[in-house]
Amino acid sequence: MVNTHPQILKGQSISKNFGGLQALLNVNFEVADGMIFAIIGPNGAGKTTLFNLISGFDRDYSGEFIFEDLSLSQLPPHDINLRGIARTFQNVRLFPNLSALENVTVGCHGWAAPVYTRAIFGLKSTRREEHTIKAYALEMLDFVGLADKKDTEVESLSLGEQKLLEIARALAARPKLLLLDEPGAGLNDREMDNLEEIIFKNKKSGITQIIVEHNMKFVMSISDEIMVLNFGTKIAFGPPEIIANNESVIEVYLGKEEELVRTE
Protein backbone atom coordinates (compact mmCIF):
# COMPACT_ATOMS: atom_id res chain seq x y z
CA MET A 1 0.00 0.00 0.00
CA VAL A 2 1.46 3.33 -1.01
CA ASN A 3 1.07 5.96 1.60
CA THR A 4 0.14 9.39 0.32
CA HIS A 5 -0.10 11.01 3.75
CA PRO A 6 2.84 12.92 5.17
CA GLN A 7 4.45 11.45 8.27
CA ILE A 8 3.56 13.10 11.56
CA LEU A 9 5.89 10.99 13.72
CA LYS A 10 9.05 9.13 12.81
CA GLY A 11 11.08 6.92 15.11
CA GLN A 12 14.67 6.48 13.96
CA SER A 13 16.85 3.68 15.34
CA ILE A 14 15.19 3.76 18.73
CA SER A 15 16.99 1.64 21.32
CA LYS A 16 16.38 1.41 25.03
CA ASN A 17 18.34 -0.60 27.53
CA PHE A 18 17.12 -1.25 31.08
CA GLY A 19 20.31 -2.19 32.92
CA GLY A 20 21.26 -4.98 30.54
CA LEU A 21 17.75 -5.82 29.39
CA GLN A 22 17.31 -4.67 25.82
CA ALA A 23 13.76 -3.30 25.87
CA LEU A 24 13.93 -1.83 22.37
CA LEU A 25 16.52 -2.49 19.70
CA ASN A 26 16.95 -0.31 16.66
CA VAL A 27 13.24 0.23 16.02
CA ASN A 28 12.33 2.36 13.00
CA PHE A 29 8.80 3.39 12.20
CA GLU A 30 6.77 6.10 10.57
CA VAL A 31 3.26 7.12 11.50
CA ALA A 32 1.22 8.76 8.75
CA ASP A 33 -0.86 11.82 9.61
CA GLY A 34 -4.44 10.98 10.56
CA MET A 35 -3.87 7.24 10.88
CA ILE A 36 -4.87 4.81 13.55
CA PHE A 37 -1.56 3.12 14.14
CA ALA A 38 -1.57 0.08 16.40
CA ILE A 39 1.38 -1.45 18.18
CA ILE A 40 0.96 -5.07 19.17
CA GLY A 41 3.19 -7.78 20.54
CA PRO A 42 3.49 -10.14 23.49
CA ASN A 43 4.04 -8.86 27.03
CA GLY A 44 7.46 -7.30 27.45
CA ALA A 45 7.77 -6.56 23.74
CA GLY A 46 8.51 -2.89 24.50
CA LYS A 47 5.19 -1.28 23.58
CA THR A 48 4.67 0.79 26.71
CA THR A 49 8.40 1.55 26.80
CA LEU A 50 8.06 3.09 23.35
CA PHE A 51 5.18 5.26 24.60
CA ASN A 52 7.24 6.37 27.58
CA LEU A 53 10.06 7.43 25.27
CA ILE A 54 7.81 9.34 22.85
CA SER A 55 6.07 11.25 25.65
CA GLY A 56 9.36 12.23 27.29
CA PHE A 57 8.54 10.22 30.39
CA ASP A 58 11.86 8.47 29.98
CA ARG A 59 14.58 10.42 28.20
CA ASP A 60 17.38 7.91 28.53
CA TYR A 61 17.41 6.24 25.11
CA SER A 62 19.29 6.29 21.84
CA GLY A 63 17.80 7.19 18.49
CA GLU A 64 15.52 10.04 17.65
CA PHE A 65 11.83 10.83 17.34
CA ILE A 66 10.87 13.39 14.72
CA PHE A 67 7.47 14.97 15.28
CA GLU A 68 6.34 17.25 12.45
CA ASP A 69 9.93 17.67 11.26
CA LEU A 70 11.22 18.61 14.71
CA SER A 71 13.22 16.37 17.00
CA LEU A 72 11.66 15.43 20.34
CA SER A 73 14.91 14.19 21.80
CA GLN A 74 15.61 15.32 25.34
CA LEU A 75 12.48 17.45 25.54
CA PRO A 76 10.75 17.22 28.94
CA PRO A 77 7.21 15.76 29.01
CA HIS A 78 5.48 19.13 29.35
CA ASP A 79 7.20 20.49 26.23
CA ILE A 80 6.22 17.38 24.30
CA ASN A 81 2.63 17.88 25.43
CA LEU A 82 2.76 21.51 24.29
CA ARG A 83 3.96 20.38 20.85
CA GLY A 84 0.72 18.43 20.52
CA ILE A 85 1.27 14.92 21.87
CA ALA A 86 -1.04 13.68 24.62
CA ARG A 87 -1.18 10.24 26.19
CA THR A 88 -3.07 7.92 28.49
CA PHE A 89 -1.53 5.38 30.83
CA GLN A 90 -1.69 1.61 30.93
CA ASN A 91 -2.35 1.63 34.66
CA VAL A 92 -4.67 4.59 35.00
CA ARG A 93 -2.94 7.66 36.44
CA LEU A 94 -5.67 10.13 37.25
CA PHE A 95 -5.33 12.75 39.98
CA PRO A 96 -7.33 11.32 42.90
CA ASN A 97 -7.51 14.68 44.72
CA LEU A 98 -9.43 16.24 41.84
CA SER A 99 -12.98 15.57 40.63
CA ALA A 100 -13.61 14.02 37.22
CA LEU A 101 -14.19 17.40 35.60
CA GLU A 102 -11.16 18.94 37.33
CA ASN A 103 -9.00 16.10 36.04
CA VAL A 104 -10.00 17.02 32.52
CA THR A 105 -9.37 20.74 33.15
CA VAL A 106 -5.77 19.85 34.01
CA GLY A 107 -5.48 18.53 30.47
CA CYS A 108 -6.26 22.06 29.19
CA HIS A 109 -3.05 23.34 30.76
CA GLY A 110 -1.20 23.52 27.46
CA TRP A 111 -3.46 26.06 25.76
CA ALA A 112 -4.70 27.79 28.90
CA ALA A 113 -1.58 28.02 31.03
CA PRO A 114 -2.46 29.89 34.22
CA VAL A 115 -0.40 32.88 35.35
CA TYR A 116 -0.05 34.18 38.92
CA THR A 117 -0.54 37.86 38.12
CA ARG A 118 -3.72 37.06 36.25
CA ALA A 119 -5.02 34.80 39.02
CA ILE A 120 -4.36 37.51 41.60
CA PHE A 121 -5.32 40.71 39.80
CA GLY A 122 -7.37 39.69 36.77
CA LEU A 123 -10.73 39.23 38.44
CA LYS A 124 -12.66 39.23 35.20
CA SER A 125 -10.12 37.53 32.96
CA THR A 126 -9.66 34.72 35.49
CA ARG A 127 -13.40 34.14 35.71
CA ARG A 128 -13.64 34.09 31.93
CA GLU A 129 -10.69 31.74 31.65
CA GLU A 130 -12.12 29.39 34.28
CA HIS A 131 -15.40 29.40 32.40
CA THR A 132 -13.70 28.58 29.09
CA ILE A 133 -11.62 25.77 30.60
CA LYS A 134 -14.55 24.22 32.45
CA ALA A 135 -16.83 24.45 29.43
CA TYR A 136 -14.24 22.76 27.23
CA ALA A 137 -13.52 20.10 29.85
CA LEU A 138 -17.23 19.39 30.13
CA GLU A 139 -17.43 19.08 26.37
CA MET A 140 -14.64 16.49 26.47
CA LEU A 141 -16.37 14.62 29.32
CA ASP A 142 -19.55 14.61 27.31
CA PHE A 143 -17.62 13.36 24.29
CA VAL A 144 -16.55 10.22 26.15
CA GLY A 145 -19.98 9.88 27.76
CA LEU A 146 -19.11 10.88 31.31
CA ALA A 147 -20.81 14.28 31.55
CA ASP A 148 -23.10 13.06 34.33
CA LYS A 149 -20.07 12.01 36.41
CA LYS A 150 -18.39 15.42 36.36
CA ASP A 151 -18.41 15.99 40.13
CA THR A 152 -17.60 12.40 41.04
CA GLU A 153 -14.40 11.52 42.82
CA VAL A 154 -12.29 9.59 40.37
CA GLU A 155 -11.73 6.72 42.78
CA SER A 156 -15.43 5.90 42.79
CA LEU A 157 -15.54 5.55 39.00
CA SER A 158 -15.35 2.08 37.46
CA LEU A 159 -12.12 1.07 35.74
CA GLY A 160 -13.76 1.50 32.36
CA GLU A 161 -14.95 4.99 33.28
CA GLN A 162 -11.49 5.88 34.56
CA LYS A 163 -9.98 4.79 31.24
CA LEU A 164 -12.46 6.95 29.33
CA LEU A 165 -11.77 9.85 31.70
CA GLU A 166 -8.07 9.57 30.87
CA ILE A 167 -8.92 9.82 27.18
CA ALA A 168 -11.03 12.93 27.86
CA ARG A 169 -8.15 14.44 29.84
CA ALA A 170 -5.70 13.73 27.01
CA LEU A 171 -8.10 15.13 24.40
CA ALA A 172 -8.53 18.32 26.43
CA ALA A 173 -4.99 19.24 25.39
CA ARG A 174 -6.24 19.43 21.76
CA PRO A 175 -3.49 17.07 20.65
CA LYS A 176 -2.42 16.31 17.09
CA LEU A 177 -1.13 12.94 18.19
CA LEU A 178 -2.83 10.82 20.83
CA LEU A 179 -1.08 7.87 22.46
CA LEU A 180 -3.53 5.36 23.91
CA ASP A 181 -1.93 2.72 26.12
CA GLU A 182 -4.25 -0.29 26.31
CA PRO A 183 -7.45 1.75 26.27
CA GLY A 184 -9.56 -1.40 26.06
CA ALA A 185 -8.14 -3.23 29.09
CA GLY A 186 -10.83 -3.67 31.72
CA LEU A 187 -13.67 -2.41 29.54
CA ASN A 188 -16.93 -4.31 29.14
CA ASP A 189 -18.51 -4.91 25.71
CA ARG A 190 -20.66 -1.80 25.83
CA GLU A 191 -17.67 0.32 26.83
CA MET A 192 -15.61 -1.28 24.06
CA ASP A 193 -18.19 -0.15 21.51
CA ASN A 194 -18.08 3.34 23.01
CA LEU A 195 -14.27 3.31 22.83
CA GLU A 196 -14.33 2.27 19.19
CA GLU A 197 -16.72 5.09 18.41
CA ILE A 198 -14.49 7.60 20.24
CA ILE A 199 -11.42 6.46 18.33
CA PHE A 200 -13.22 6.78 14.99
CA LYS A 201 -14.53 10.24 15.91
CA ASN A 202 -11.00 11.31 16.82
CA LYS A 203 -9.81 10.10 13.45
CA LYS A 204 -12.54 12.07 11.76
CA SER A 205 -11.43 15.24 13.53
CA GLY A 206 -7.91 14.69 12.23
CA ILE A 207 -6.14 13.36 15.33
CA THR A 208 -3.46 10.77 14.65
CA GLN A 209 -3.66 7.91 17.15
CA ILE A 210 -1.13 5.34 18.22
CA ILE A 211 -2.75 2.54 20.15
CA VAL A 212 -1.19 -0.24 22.18
CA GLU A 213 -3.77 -2.94 22.63
CA HIS A 214 -3.99 -6.63 23.43
CA ASN A 215 -7.49 -7.32 22.14
CA MET A 216 -6.68 -8.65 18.65
CA LYS A 217 -10.20 -8.53 17.31
CA PHE A 218 -10.43 -4.89 18.33
CA VAL A 219 -7.02 -4.00 16.87
CA MET A 220 -7.76 -5.72 13.56
CA SER A 221 -11.05 -3.90 13.19
CA ILE A 222 -9.90 -0.36 13.97
CA SER A 223 -6.31 0.01 12.80
CA ASP A 224 -5.07 1.41 9.52
CA GLU A 225 -1.58 0.12 10.13
CA ILE A 226 -0.06 -2.22 12.66
CA MET A 227 3.49 -2.54 13.93
CA VAL A 228 4.39 -5.80 15.65
CA LEU A 229 7.10 -5.82 18.29
CA ASN A 230 8.69 -8.89 19.81
CA PHE A 231 11.45 -8.71 22.43
CA GLY A 232 12.12 -5.09 21.52
CA THR A 233 12.49 -5.51 17.79
CA LYS A 234 10.07 -4.74 15.00
CA ILE A 235 9.10 -7.99 13.30
CA ALA A 236 6.30 -6.81 11.04
CA PHE A 237 4.50 -3.75 9.81
CA GLY A 238 1.51 -3.26 7.55
CA PRO A 239 -2.25 -3.05 7.29
CA PRO A 240 -4.32 -5.52 9.37
CA GLU A 241 -5.04 -8.01 6.59
CA ILE A 242 -1.31 -8.41 5.86
CA ILE A 243 -0.36 -8.65 9.53
CA ALA A 244 -3.02 -11.31 10.13
CA ASN A 245 -1.34 -13.52 7.53
CA ASN A 246 2.26 -12.65 8.32
CA GLU A 247 4.20 -15.80 9.15
CA SER A 248 6.53 -14.41 11.78
CA VAL A 249 3.58 -12.75 13.54
CA ILE A 250 1.63 -15.98 13.57
CA GLU A 251 4.71 -17.75 14.85
CA VAL A 252 5.09 -15.28 17.74
CA TYR A 253 1.47 -15.64 18.74
CA LEU A 254 1.23 -19.37 18.04
CA GLY A 255 4.55 -19.98 19.76
CA LYS A 256 3.05 -18.41 22.81
CA GLU A 257 0.04 -20.68 22.53
CA GLU A 258 2.27 -23.74 22.28
CA GLU A 259 4.02 -22.65 25.41
CA LEU A 260 0.69 -22.28 27.12
CA VAL A 261 -0.31 -25.78 26.02
CA ARG A 262 2.95 -27.20 27.32
CA THR A 263 2.60 -25.62 30.76
CA GLU A 264 -0.93 -26.89 31.19
Give the binding site for other proteins (CB under 8 A).
55-57, 76-78, 80-82, 86-87, 89, 93-98, 102, 105-110, 112-114, 116, 119-120, 126, 129-130, 133, 169, 173
Question: Cβ 3 to other proteins, closest distance in Å?
Answer: 29
Question: Cβ 126 to other proteins, closest distance in Å?
Answer: 6
36 burial type by CB count under 10 A (0-12 exposed, 13-18 middle, 19+ buried):
buried
Pick from 178, 163, 168: nearest CA to 147: 168
Question: Cβ 183 to other proteins, closest distance in Å?
Answer: 15
Question: Cβ 209 to other proteins, closest distance in Å?
Answer: 16
Question: Cβ 78 to other proteins, closest distance in Å?
Answer: 5
For residues 209 and 203, give the distance between their C-alpha atoms in angstroms, rounded to a whole number.
Answer: 8
Q: Is 38 helix (H, G, I), strand (E, B) or coil?
A: strand
Residue 201 backbone zone (phi > 0: left; psi -120 to 50: alpha; other: beta): alpha
For residues 116 and 114, give the distance between their C-alpha atoms in angstroms, rounded to a whole number.
Answer: 7
Q: Quick one: 105 or 209, whose CB is closer to other proteins? A: 105
Q: Quick one: 116 or 189, whose CB is closer to other proteins? A: 116
For residues 132 and 171, give the distance between their C-alpha atoms in angstroms, rounded to a whole number.
Answer: 15
Q: Quick one: 127 or 201, whose CB is closer to other proteins? A: 127
Q: Quick one: 52 or 208, whose CB is closer to other proteins? A: 52
Cα-trace Rg, the chain: 19
For residues 179 and 93, give the distance between their C-alpha atoms in angstroms, rounded to a whole number.
Answer: 14
Q: Quick one: 30 or 181, whose CB is closer to other proteins? A: 181
